[in-house]
Structure formats: structure tokens, C-alpha cells
Structure 1
């Protein structure tokens, strides 16, 4: 069974509501309420586990909301290792307005992390046993810009490939370390990283290939929403369209993409097939309401369509 470890420095307790219509000022009664453990690495672990793999979740959490996150992780039967912090774990909210079909998302920055806390995280990761280490999510306040790079260097000494899905300083700091196995930026994150407009597929592919040529990552998968995704590696690049589906939510699409692509890699699929499996998972997540992630049956059904694309 393939085994990954995921690191989530700034996890969330995800709360989702459905409401007929939003109004300012007045009290509004919701139709439903959902609670889930969230944050990039935790979402990746959830989908990876649904597909049949084993995932160990490492995360920083504190306060009463950190305890609530623990309980939610246990409900999802995730193997978890908590690094305790003084700050309160954040709560993120998503509201689906049924009348318009629009989704509104509210995501706080999260607690500041103290040096002793992120250093304890590094010490714990030094004993991790896994096939791949997944670093997912932005860096919370107080964590140094090169933290993911430090983790990557630690994993390299232990011959554990690193998979990266971050933004801003987290993305740049890890790529500066180099030697990443797979990095999955969104098109917005790649634009921020390069400072370029990247307005057409050729420009996007060239920017992704530049990361490969610089030795920063062996594989770069750029997700572009309804415009599909681009995979770059030493073998060249591949651009595939998105699967044709009715979008209900964007929550967890990138995490589902990464989990499915990595699962396929871990069971020895070739890279292009794994990339297509990831596209199918991203589409499956978009099909799901905002309180859920991609489901295996949807992923496999959509993969049959994506696999036929030239």
C-alpha cells in the first residue's frame, strides 16, 4: 500500500452552510451545516486515503479549535500527529447561496507560530517513514520563508521525494532549495512566483519548463481551472483541457488533483497517466458541494473521459 506523509502548518476547521439567499444586517437561517478537517495537506491525505492509500497527517494545532480539529480527523479515520501550538487553530467558512449558486468563502490568516513550535515540527518530521512527503499550504505568520526548503533538505538526506503545493514565500523558499520531485502551482501562484502575465498556454509551459531546467523540480503540474492543466518535465510539456462538468464549488479541487496524481504515481502509473488522473480528481471535486472533496467513483469515471483526450 502506498504511504505518504502530509504536513499542514496552518490547518482549519472547515464549516460550510447552505442558505436560500444572503442579506446584509438581518439574521439568516441556514438550511444545513457541515464540519470537516481542512487545510492543504489534510485534504490531500483525505483523498489519498479514499483512493486506497495510507496517509499520515502532521499538523500544527492549538486551543479548543485544535481539539475540535483532532476530533474531526478521528472521525475521518486519519493517522495523525499533532504538533501543539499556543495559538488557536483557525476556522474557515463557506456559504453556498442556493438562489444564485454562488459560493462565498471566508479564510482567516491563522495563528502566529513561535520558533520553538516550528522547530519541534522539524524535529518530528526527522523520524517520518513514508514513500513521499507532501508539503501543502501557505506558511503561517512566524514561520521562516525557507521552512519548506529546510524540510526538503531533511527529506533529501533520507531519500524521501518531496511534493510541494504552496504559494508566495512557501513556494519560492522551497524551490530555492531545489530537487523537488513534484510541484503543483495554480496559474495564479505561478504568475506570482514569476512576476509574469502568463496569458497563454505557451508562456505558462515555458515558465513551468524553466523551473524544471533550473533543477528546482523534476515535474511541474500547473492547474488552470476551466482551462485545464499543464505538465512540464525533462521529457517536455503536455497541455490537457479540463473535464467537461457542471461546477458546484472550487473547494479542494487543487488538493484532490494532487492527491490523485500522487496516488497514481505511487502505484507506478506513468507520469502522463497520473497527470490525467489528477485532472479527473480536480473535476470530481468541482462537481461536489463545498463541504466535500473528490469521491473515488467520480474520479475513475471522469478519468475514462480524460484518458481519451489527445
Structure 2
């Protein structure tokens, strides 16, 4: 697609190093060795940054997707991005783009998710991403998702250094060694770990909200990130910042899918920040968007009407 006309406050770029074609099915019941007919099928472009871009655009912003794409499935991914009218900056690779599958068993309401590791990436390929990022123009860069095989653990840290020096807001949503290395040098405006990802980062379990809050505040106080938003699943979310911790309990909804809830949260919060809302209001928007994502089956992600309705139900947070 051609570049879109954008304004600085609504233009973001997203980086997805290990994208997917997300396919979701509904079946009455999963039965071993039997041929099972599906009731519905959903096919969407996926991966952390791409999911963020999809929701960000729905909210009224503009997003450019930087992503790796290869093989016949890479061609299909490119086509899906065009169907979603997303501005894309494809970095070609030799390996085929992965396909992730979600199965909803209607009889039990249980959801099953199968996510392949993805293709290996060569040094020349990941260095091409750095070159792409070095020239990109945006108000914020959202780095989201796992690193594929062949990419060094400190790759996101290299991206942060590359674009952070230009005064671009950097958002980081990953896990494991990539998260640790990405935070080590500071320069991150917002990081969004889940509770499990935060526990892995600090090396201990965090069974209480107070423990989660303390661990998140330690990241802020170390200067690694200005904002730390921790998603707690059915328990809500909290935001650590210099001024203190904001805690929002979960909204009571019937969850039909968990796919993309964290990505929808990031999209909502970043949209708030990029359109001039303060940290607290942006955080509430993120919570509403993350909750909205679970209302629909498959890989549909958050819808604006649901986000607006849920946002009205969130009381003003108390620091």
C-alpha cells in the first residue's frame, strides 16, 4: 500500500519480528482421530505489533507495520495486511511465515492455542530491519512480540538505542531474555509485561498485587522505563510511574477468546498517549481495549464500540 498521510500525534510504527497468520476455528467438540467440521473460521494477520496496529487504526490513528515476511505464507500475510488497509514496510526473509491456530470447543468453552516457533532469521535479515527502523518517521514505535531464532537477545535494545536517540516514544512488549535486554539500557517510555512475564524478569513469584506493584515500581526507579503497565488477566491491571501506582480491577465480562488481549491493551494505551491524554486516562483506555478484545471469538481483537462502552464503566483510578 502507498504511504498514508499522517499527523505526528496519531502516527505510530510497529515492529513485529515473528508475525503470524492467525487462523481460528470453532468446533462443537474436539475428538481424537475424528474429522471435525468447523462452525466458523477466522483468518487475520497477527503477531504482537501487527495486532497493535490493527486496533490502533480502528481507534482512528495511523500505523505503519514493519515486519518480516517470507515464503508462500509470507505472500498471504502481505495480502491480509492489505485487506486490513494497513501501511506496511515488509522486510523479506527466506523462511516461511508461521501460521498460528486457535480452536474454540463450543461444548466446554475451552480454547486451545497452537503457536509454532517461526522461521530462523539470518544476520543479514535482522540487520535489514535495523536499517528500516533507522529511517522510519513516527511519533512512537511499538516493539511487540517474540524474537525468532537467529536474532540476538539484545536486538530490541539495539532498536531502542537506534530510534530513542531521535526522541521517538518507545513501547516494549516482549518477554524473557529479550525483555531483560530491552530494558537494561533504559530509554523505554512504556513497557507492558503480564504478571508471568514480570515474575520471570524479577526471578520470583508475585502472588499479591502489592508485590506486583513493588516489582513494577523498581523498574521505574531504576530508570529502565517511565511507565510499567502490568496486565493481570481476570484480576485487572496496574500502572507504575514516578507519581505512584494506579490500580484498576477487572471488568466483569464473559470472555470468548484471550487472543490479542494484551496487544489490544497496548494499542489503547498508546493511542491515548499519542493523542495527548495523560498517563492515567491512557491506562484506563488500555484496560478498556484489553477487556474488549475478549468479548469476541477468534482473532477479531478489540472493537471501538466495545472499548467506549467499557471505558465508561471504569472508575477513575486512585494512585
- The answer to whether structure 1 residue 283 and structure 2 residue 307 are counterparts is no
Determine if the alignment matches structure 1 residue 181 to structure 2 residue 189. Answer: yes
1:66 aligns with 2:85: no
Work out which of the residue numbers 104, 113, 116 in structure 2 matches 1:105.
113
* Aligned counterparts of 2:255 and 2:175: Cα–Cα separation in 1: 24
CA distance in 2, matches of 1:158, 1:186: 28
SS at match of 1:207: helix
Separation (CA, whole Å) in 2 of partners of 1:33 and 1:228: 29
The residue aligned with 1:30 is 38
- Aligned counterparts of 2:252 and 2:39: Cα–Cα separation in 1: 29
Contact 1:220 1:233 (C-alpha < 8 Å) held by counterparts:
yes
Give the Cα–Cα distance (whole angstroms) in 1 for the partners of residues 177 and 97 of structure 2.
21
Partner of 1:136: 144
**1:49 and 2:57 matched:** yes
Residue segments in structure 1 that go unaligned for 5+ positions in a row: none
TM-score of the aligned structures, taking structure 1 as reference length: 0.98
Q: Does 1:274 align with 2:288?
A: no
Residue 7 of structure 1 is matched in structure 2 by 15
Residues matched between the structures, number: 310
On the 8 A contact 1:139/1:169 being kept in 2, the answer is: no
Q: Distance in 1 between matches of 2:316 and 2:203?
A: 35
Deviation (angstroms), 1:307:
3.5
Residue 246 of structure 1, CA deviation: 0.8
Residues 6 and 45, structure 1, Cα contact 8 Å, conserved in 2: yes
Q: Which runs of 4+ in 1 moved over 2 A?
A: 307-310
Flag structure 2 segments of 5+ consecutive residues without an equivalent.
1-6
Structure 1 CA distance for aligned equivalents of residues 212 and 40 of structure 2: 40
Query: Match of 1:126, SS?
Result: helix
- Aligned twin of 1:126: 134
The 2-side partners of 1:300 and 1:26 are apart by: 42
Q: Could you tell me how far apart the structure 2 residues matched to 1:301 and 1:23 are?
A: 38
> Could you report, residue by residue, the CA deviation over 1:118-146 in whole angstroms, capped at 9, with x for unpaired residues?
00000111100000011000111110010
Shift of 1:309: 5.8
